[in-house]
């Protein structure tokens, strides 16, 4: 039997030789000075950056990296460290192979529906993982290196992991098996066909490196910090079907060094390493064996429904040709509602359907089908303020149904059910079963009883919408309008992101929700009542030091305590003076723009550049990981329309540029706030966007635009930095 050392070293040598050949070909064709940039990332070639410290900007930098890999990371000693070092060398060489492809073509694997493989994952995609990882909607990651013994087993394994919420990366022939079995593959549904060869795994390791840098503030060359972070905070593992050649063994050494166990059914020259390299012959039982090896426990919510339910299906898109029906609140009456009731009014687990069921839908009425549902809840500690908190969860819960798509809220919902879900047996009562099970499961300390009514009868829907739902929404809106930072007695911490960003603490107020956009003051209040010892702790507001800047002694004490001493103080309304920290999953980032003495705001979904000459990814790389970065701040979209936004520096009048899509999204709240503050109508029309200035080269155009619009920033004093 060949020794594990020899197999790792041989695999490393093989990958390195392939990288040498690929790089030599690229340099011969383009020259060493040719630019080398992976798309939409501020951490170019993150594996190489992390372990060599080389910032790759040209093909010549890749040549330097190859020298560093050879000299520093390919020892041939009989030691565990030599195996781990060679594993990282294998991953870095694999990254060189893949990087050379992006020199020639920024989308070497296609785009859109023609995308054959996923390849490189953007910073935006990495950041999208932040919230579901923190909430454990994604409890872990698996890399399947195939093919599996049969197409059917490949399907069952992929779907089995997906149904448990595990994010699935596919390498090799298992991708073709998944295609033959008609499995939907996309980043949004958490099944990603990375590429056909083992060197494509570099894209997965690169994602891991960037996650540690973005969320954990791990710095390049900090070998132990990186490996500790991946071991403790990124729960990943590998399933490698036999045969496992040397080059895969070499890559596997990198995974094991990062703390990711490998499960295989190959006995040929494979050495068992307890808890790290596991031989398990029955591949059909790999799911349970792998979860146990990585100590991942899956929380299961039992519900009587005929289709799969999991967060992996939240990103599923139901096309028109796939749908059984489309219930659309913008074209006909539809709504969703939670109402608090007295216990005597509710029969627990009573599901009522009023109107025709889904099997009455025809080709003629599938676009005019109407749907509404009301969940009535009661509990000794239930409060009416929690109604909207629970109601907002309907969006994600219904999207977790395989073959069902939900958008919108309140009376503007849209629910599409696919033919496949209908054929599997999905009917109206199952919507009620999902809402019942999730409300009772997730809010059991507040909710004692739940009954759900699902309505499809058009007359009943219209009557209930007008007489029950709309008055309830209006009452809530009036209540929310009174919720300002001044009107409440307490704020809340949110430390959910500390599982990935250990020193970050959000202070959540009525006007400043969590920077991820997912935790409002009411959410934090409900979370505190559900779990008094959990991530949302009460912060008193006594003894305000400075209302304009937003300084409270108890806020400072809270951030110092819950950041374990990493932070001493924060302000709530300043960009420059002790700004709130960022974890990495923020919706937007705000950065100072010196020429106008204003600020640029860009959201995570915008891929282009800004007048600062940096994209979202590049701006975001300057903050995050629980660090305070004066002049740059991560925040939620809702905060943009708050009168407290950057109040210490002049407030909303400082906003000079935003992407047009973001402007449209926040227009109502921003316009209303600007009118109250400055008497300006349609303020968003005075804010520049990418149609006028899309890069640093367009800075003069932006300044000209601001002058034409007489933007209020022109009357403000320069930043006091």
Task: Specify the 3-state DSSP secondary structure of 323.
Answer: strand
pLDDT in tens, 219-273: 999 999 999 999 999 999 999 999 999 999 999 999 999 999 999 999 998 888 8
Residue 211: pLDDT above 70? yes
Residue 297 is predicted with a pLDDT of 87
Query: pTM for this structure?
Result: 0.84
Q: Is 481 exposed, middle or buried (0-12, 13-18, 19+ CB in 10 A)?
A: exposed
- Residue 325 has φ and ψ, to the nearest 5°, of -155, 165
So what's the pLDDT on residue 721?
A: 63
The 10s digit of each residue's pLDDT in 494-524 is: 998 887 888 899 999 999 988 888 789 998 9
Residue % of the chain over a pLDDT of 90 = 81
Average pLDDT over residues 617-629: 84
Tokens 């019942």, residue located: 436
Which residues 6+ apart lie within 8 Å of 637 measured at CB? 517, 587, 588, 603, 662, 665, 666
Give Cα 234 to chain centroid, integer Å.
Answer: 14
Name which of 387, 403, 405, 400 is nearest 336 in CA terms: 387
Mean pLDDT for 569-583 is: 93
Per the DSSP assignment, residues forming a β-bridge with 405 are: 416
Give me the mean pLDDT over the 471-485 stretch: 89
Over range 577-591, report the average pLDDT.
90
Q: Which pLDDT score, from 0 to 100, does residue 633 have?
A: 92
CA distance 64 to 56: 9
Stretch among 54-68, 236-250, 363-377, 503-517 having the lowest mean pLDDT: 503-517
**Banded model confidence at residue 199, pLDDT cuts 50, 70, 90:** very high
- Say if residues 400 and 309 touch (Cβ distance below 8 Å): yes
Q: What are the phi and psi torsion angles at 660 (to 5°)?
A: -60, -40
The SS3 of residue 52 is: helix
pLDDT for position 312: 87
**β 191-195/598-603 pair status:** unpaired
CATH entry 3.60.15.10 includes domain 4-293:
no
pLDDT (0 to 100) of residue 689: 97
What was the pLDDT predicted at 311? 87
Provide the pLDDT for residue 589. 94
List, for residues 677-709, the tens digit of each pLDDT value: 999 999 999 999 999 999 999 999 999 999 999
CATH number assigned to the domain covering 311-471: 3.30.1650.10
Q: Which residue has the higher pLDDT, 463 or 293?
A: 463
For residues 397 and 334, give the distance between their C-alpha atoms in angstroms, rounded to a whole number. Answer: 18
Q: Which residue has the higher pLDDT, 584 or 239?
A: 239
Residue 182 in this model has a pLDDT that exceeds 70: yes
Measure the CA–CA gap between 392 and 465, rounded to whole angstroms.
18
- Encode pLDDT of 298-317 as tens digits: 877 779 999 999 888 988 89
Tell me what the pLDDT averaged over the chain comes to. Answer: 94
647 pLDDT tier (thresholds 50, 70, 90): very high
CATH fold label, 490-715: 3.40.1470
Confidence band, pLDDT 50/70/90 cuts, at residue 209: very high
In this prediction, residue 479 carries a pLDDT of 85
The reported pLDDT for the residue numbered 148 is 97
Q: What is the mean pLDDT of residues 626-639?
A: 90
Provide the residue ranges of all domains of the chain, joining segments of one domain with +. 4-293, 311-471, 490-715
Beta-carbon contacts of 170 under 8 Å, excluding residues fewer than 6 positions away, are 143, 144, 146, 158, 178, 185, 191, 192, 193, 194
DSSP 149-215: SSHHHHHHHHHHHHHTT-EEEEEETHHHHHHHTT---BTTTTEEEEESSGGGGHHHHHHHHHHHHHH
Instruction: Output b/e per residue, 26-59; b: 16+ Cβ within 10 A.
Output: bbeebeeeeebebebbbbbbbbbbbbbebebebb
């Amino acid at each position: 039997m060949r020794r594990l050392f020899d197999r790792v070293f041989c695999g490393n040598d093989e990958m390195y030789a392939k990288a040498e050949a690929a790089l030599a070909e690229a340099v011969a064709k383009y020259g060493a000075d040719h630019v080398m940039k992976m798309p939409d990332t501020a951490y170019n070639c993150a594996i190489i950056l992390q372990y060599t410290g080389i910032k790759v900007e040209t093909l010549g930098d890749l040549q330097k990296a190859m020298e560093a890999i050879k000299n520093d990371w390919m020892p041939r000693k009989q030691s565990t460290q030599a195996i781990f070092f060679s594993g990282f060398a294998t991953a870095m060489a694999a990254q060189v192979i893949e990087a050379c492809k992006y020199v020639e073509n920024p989308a070497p694997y296609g785009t859109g529906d023609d995308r054959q493989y996923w390849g490189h994952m953007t910073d935006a995609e990495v950041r999208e993982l932040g919230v579901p990882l923190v909430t454990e909607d994604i409890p872990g990651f698996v890399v399947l290196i195939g093919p599996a013994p049969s197409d059917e087993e490949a399907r069952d394994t992929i779907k089995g992991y997906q149904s448990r919420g595990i994010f699935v990366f596919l390498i090799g022939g298992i991708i073709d098996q998944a295609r033959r079995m008609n499995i939907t593959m996309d980043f949004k549904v958490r099944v990603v066909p990375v590429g056909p060869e083992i060197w494509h795994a570099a894209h997965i390791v690169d994602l891991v490196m960037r996650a540690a840098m973005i969320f954990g503030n791990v710095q390049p060359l900090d070998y132990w910090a990186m490996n500790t972070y991946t071991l403790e905070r990124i729960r990943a593992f590998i399933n490698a079907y036999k045969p496992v050649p040397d080059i895969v063994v070499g890559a596997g050494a990198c995974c094991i060094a990062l703390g990711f166990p490998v499960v295989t059914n190959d006995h040929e020259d494979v050495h068992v390493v307890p808890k790290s390299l596991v031989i398990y012959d029955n591949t059909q039982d790999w799911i349970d064996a792998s979860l146990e090896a990585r100590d991942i426990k899956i929380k299961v919510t039992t519900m009587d429904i005929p289709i799969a339910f999991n967060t992996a299906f939240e990103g599923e898109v139901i096309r028109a040709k796939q749908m059984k029906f489309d219930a659309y609140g913008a074209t006909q009456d539809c709504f969703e509602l939670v109402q608090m009731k007295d216990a005597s009014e509710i029969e627990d687990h009573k599901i009522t359907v009023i109107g025709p069921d889904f099997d009455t839908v025809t080709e003629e009425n599938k676009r005019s089908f109407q749907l509404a549902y009301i969940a009535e809840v009661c509990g000794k500690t239930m409060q009416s303020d929690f109604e909207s908190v629970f109601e907002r969860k309907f969006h994600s819960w219904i999207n977790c149904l395989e073959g069902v798509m939900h958008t919108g809220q309140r009376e503007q919902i849209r629910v599409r059910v696919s033919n496949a879900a209908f054929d599997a047996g999905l009917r109206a009562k199952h919507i009620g079963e999902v809402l019942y099970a999730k409300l009772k499961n997730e809010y059991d300390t507040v909710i004692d009883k739940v009954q759900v009514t699902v309505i499809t009868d058009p007359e009943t829907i219209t009557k209930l919408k007008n007489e029950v739902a709309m008055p309830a929404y209006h009452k809530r809106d009036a209540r929310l309008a009174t919720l300002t930072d001044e009107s409440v007695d307490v704020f809340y911490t949110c430390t959910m992101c500390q599982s990935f960003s250990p020193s970050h603490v959000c202070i959540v107020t009525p006007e400043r929700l969590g920077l991820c956009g997912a935790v409002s003051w009411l959410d934090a209040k409900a979370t505190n009542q559900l779990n008094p010892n959990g991530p949302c702790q009460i912060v008193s507001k006594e003894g305000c030091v400075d209302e304009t800047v937003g300084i409270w002694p108890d806020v400072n004490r809270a951030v110092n305590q819950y950041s374990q001493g990493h932070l001493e103080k924060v302000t709530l309304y300043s960009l420059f003076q002790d700004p709130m920290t960022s974890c990495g999953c923020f919706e937007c980032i705000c950065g100072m723009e010196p020429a106008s003495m204003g600020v640029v705001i860009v959201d995570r979904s915008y891929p282009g550049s800004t007048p600062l000459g940096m994209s979202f990814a590049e701006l975001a790389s300057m903050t995050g990981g629980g660090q305070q970065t004066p002049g740059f701040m991560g925040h939620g979209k809702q905060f943009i329309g708050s009168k407290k936004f950057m109040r210490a520096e002049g407030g909303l009048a400082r906003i000079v540029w935003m992407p047009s899509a973001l402007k449209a999204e926040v227009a109502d709240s921003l316009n209303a706030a600007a009118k109250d503050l400055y008497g300006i109508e349609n303020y968003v029309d005075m804010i520049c966007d990418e149609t006028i200035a899309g890069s640093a080269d367009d800075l003069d155009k932006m300044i000209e635009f601001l002058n034409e619009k007489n933007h209020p920033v022109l009357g403000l004093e320069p930043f006091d930095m």
